[in-house]
Chains A and B, each alone.
Chain A
Amino acid sequence: MSNQLAISMDGVSKQYSHFRLDDVSIQLEEGGIMGFIGPNGAGKSTTMRVIMGLVLADSGEINVLGHAIPDDQARAKMSIGFASEDMNLYPTATLQWHMDFVRSIFPSWDQQYADALVKRFDLHHDLKIKGFSHGQKVKAQLLLVLARRPRLLLLDEPTTGLDPVARREVLDELMEVLADEERTILFSSHNTKDVEQLSDSITFIDRGCVIESQDKESYLERWRRIRFEVPEGSRTPTLPGVDSVQKAGRLVSMTTGNFEPDMPAILQDQGAVIHGVENMTLEEIFVAEVMSSRQGEAA
């Protein structure tokens, strides 16, 4: 993988009356796929719109595919494919009309790939968009973006509201995009399973702040749940760097985002009987991170 950055955001802020995107910094290498996770209203869509030049930041530096945003956004946009739930196709026009329209603007349009996608996504050229189901509309929008073969795909919730088959079709297609090492994807999702499976790196955002932005493997590796038993009447052992401790009778479940291999031994020295050291799913980590970050704010 080259080390060239497809997206570089540095200290980007944007103030709204009831929301603030606060000092957001994200770096995404060319050829990589980043999953962007956060609760509703966390600032995922706003961040994507800033990258796309659709929202003007108050401060900070943004560079996309070597183009400064917003100054050089017109050139950047020729190579960015952006799809979002908020965008609508024309209800009374057919899919074919939309394909012809996009092709007339973007010279990179690949007709063969577009035709293949119509088949793979099980869509119809000659049907008006108003006759499409929700899933078909999502896939149609994605098709219009993919067939341009953009170097950077910005996909805001590409799998939300899709049935399992359609979701699979979309995810498979995203993996195919990555066969080309020079193409990059940033996608947001509520579905942490999708993100865990596909992403090279992960960015967590909550209440307008980036909580974490890291490569996925190192990130998952940092987190563990240690389950152990303490003898009756004795104190619960303690460790530095523990995020939460839950106790039920003699059984204790400790989660940490700073796992070190010697932790179980330290607990044992304090009288604990270790029952298990478990990896955590991205979903469990996500919830733990958001809770602990919010507690920190409240304190």
Chain B
Amino acid sequence: MTEEFILSQSDGRPMYLQIMDQIKLRITVEDWNPGFKLPSIRELAIAAKVSVITVKRAYQELEGEGIIITRQGKGSFVAEIDGLGRQLREDELDGYLVQALEVAESLGLDIGTVRERLYEIAVDLGKMNGDET
């Protein structure tokens, strides 16, 4: 359950963000469902081979995002929100789309061009039929 927490040495992002991502991923793929009890901070620290304070930070941030809930003396749980996994998947996609828009903006491209490019790329990748417009 927790033994597969492996952090990437080449990922330049702070380790607490990597831990957050791995937890979100488990919720996204619905391995950890709403109400699931997360490992204790110390357990996860030992499993991921990172310091207790790093895991504590990750849990605090996830709490701030409303994804997990900590009950005094009982531990931390995945928030009881219907469709939380789907919501996280959508959030992830939105994150990439926001990045794409930011890059487009810095290149002076408008949203119409971005839409066209997205469509063309999908066609090139064979994800869409070029004729159906």
Contact = CB atoms under 8 A, between A and B. Distances in A.
A178 B42 contact: yes
Nearest to A31: B52
A196 B18 CA distance: 14
Interface in A245-277: none
A1 interface: yes
Interface string B17-56: 0000000000000000000000000100110011111101
A76 to B, nearest CB: 24
Interface in A125-184: 171-172, 175-176, 178-179, 181
Looking at chain A's contact residues, the main secondary structure is: mixed
Given A193-B9, A281-B12, A33 B46 contact: no
Looking at chain B's contact residues, the main secondary structure is: helix
Interface stretch (A39-47, A50-58, A215-223, A287-295): A215-223
A217 B46 contact: no
B42 A172 contact: no
A33 B49 contact: no
Q: How large is the interface on A (under 10, 10 to 19, 20 to 34, 35 or more residues)?
A: 20 to 34
B64 interface: no
Tell which of A175, A178, A181 has the most Cβ of chain B within 10 Å.
A175
Given A200-B53, A216-B54, A217-B54, A279 B12 contact: yes
Given A181-B42, A216-B54, A217-B54, A175 B49 contact: yes
B133 to A, nearest CB: 37
A236 interface: no
Given A217-B54, A217-B57, A279-B13, A171 B49 contact: yes
Given A179-B42, A197-B7, A198-B50, 4 more contacts: A175-B46, A193-B9, A199-B51, A217-B54
Interface of B: 7, 9, 12-16, 42, 45-46, 49-54, 56-57
